[in-house]
Amino acid sequence: MRHWDVMKSKGRRLSMAPKKNVSIAVIKRLPRYYRYLSDLLKMDITRISSKELSKRMGITASQIRQDLNCFGGFGQQGYGYNVEALFIEISKILGVDKQFNCIIIGAGNMGQALAHYRNFEKRGFKTIGIFDIDPRLIGKKMNDIEIMDMKDLEDFVGRNHVDIAMLTVPYEATREIAERVARLGIKGLWNFSPMDLKLPYDTVIENVHLSDSLMVLGYKIKEQFGRDQDMNGKL
């Protein structure tokens, strides 16, 4: 089956038209499906049942069926899911079958980590510009991209199509820079500042708090190994 072919199973055609009001919890699980299906393709697995997929992902088969049913009816009892076709359709839903042009604002440690993470481009997110206000950084290169002065932001966006701005700036500068970016018509903000951004613009914002995830991990460790035990290597 070619990548662009539509899966057919016992006369049923794969359909991934999303239903209205899909919950954010389902949307947040889609990248996991994408990753696991990608791994299955690398292992030359062509079809898989919801039960088998549930064992790999650590969620119930019922949850998988409910999640995927939000985007249309597909899969067949006794057949399972066509891995390649499902991977392609989830890619389309997530938009990774297209390219998003991204800029990074803030070339500090986090900005450098984002610039050097090559998996973004494999997922369709290409970094085309990096900006900072530090004269010691301006003119240097990160991942073969020259760091530009923030004063050149408007000119750059005017000459290049930018879909997403990744913000890795200090807390006190976050809102001002975010509003400046939004006024330029950039539709997506990936915000790594501790601030929960909300803007009165037609802009989609994803706030990322790495410390929240770390604290959740700390909670899970304490729950699993006991609250009163010494956490310094004596678990």
Q: Which of 94, 128, 147 is the last residue of a domain?
A: 94
Higher pLDDT, 122 or 130: 130
In a domain, 71, yes or no: yes
**Is the predicted pLDDT of residue 6 greater than 50, yes or no?**
no
What is the structure's pLDDT at 21? 72
What is the structure's pLDDT at 78? 64
Do 136 and 89 fall within a single domain? no
Do 121 and 208 fall within a single domain? yes
Do 109 and 199 fall within a single domain? yes
Do 80 and 166 fall within a single domain? no
Encode pLDDT of 124-160 as tens digits.
899 999 999 999 999 999 999 999 999 999 999 999 9
Q: Is the pTM of this model over 0.85?
A: no
Give the domain CATH number at 189. 3.40.50.720
Do 104 and 87 fall within a single domain? no
What is the structure's pLDDT at 77? 65
The label of the residue with tokens 């601030």 reads 195
What's the DSSP call for residue 9? Answer: E
In a domain, 220, yes or no: no
8 Å CB contact between 216 and 226: no
Do 191 and 148 fall within a single domain? yes
In a domain, 58, yes or no: yes
Do 105 and 199 fall within a single domain? yes
- Collect all residues with Cβ–Cβ distance below 8 Å to 12 and sequence separation of at least 6: 73, 74, 76
Q: Which one, of 82, 50, 77, lies nearest residue 66 by Cα?
A: 50
In a domain, 35, yes or no: yes
What is the structure's pLDDT at 80? 84
In a domain, 1, yes or no: no
Do 104 and 89 fall within a single domain? no
The residue range of the domain holding 23 is: 8-94
